[in-house]
Amino acid sequence: MERVPMTKHGAEALREELKYLKTTKRSQIVEAISTARAHGDLSENAEYHAAKEDQSFNEGRIKQIEDSLARAHIIDPTTIDAEKVVFGATVELIDMDSGTEVTYQIVGVDEADLEQGKISITSPIARALIGREEGDMAVVQAPGGEREYEIQSIRYA
């Protein structure tokens, strides 16, 4: 069983989602199935089929989260004291092509969310940043072509 890195915050968020799916969401689905069954013939009952499909997706997500948490190697970024970029780092970068400043935190695959500035450890940007220090240049092989970033700061929060 391969261990997967995950931040403490990411693990807590997955536990909260798991709790919601197992309690609230399951109850809602059971109620929807019960209501749909009361309408009669199940073979042509769209509400029943939709509720059963929702149940299938919910149970699949529960299994996925449980697997991720079971394999998780939970890391608290606030306990890291490093000069270089490692898992959990929040890195401020300057895009050398556009001159814009961007900030990313390197997190586990299950907690990545680009809109929140969280990038997966397996992403091209994270792979290019790992092991670098402030002031270093990182060349990223992105799908849209090569991008160059300068590391402005590294922090662990």
Domains and CATH numbers, the chain: 4-75 (1.10.287.180), 77-155 (3.10.50.30)
pLDDT (tens digit, 9 = 90+) per residue, 81-131?
A: 889 999 999 999 999 989 999 999 999 999 999 999 999 999 999 999 999
For CA atoms 28, 34, 37, 39, give the dihedral sign: negative
Number of Cα atoms under 13 Å in the Cβ half of residue 55: 15
Q: What is the pTM of this model?
A: 0.82
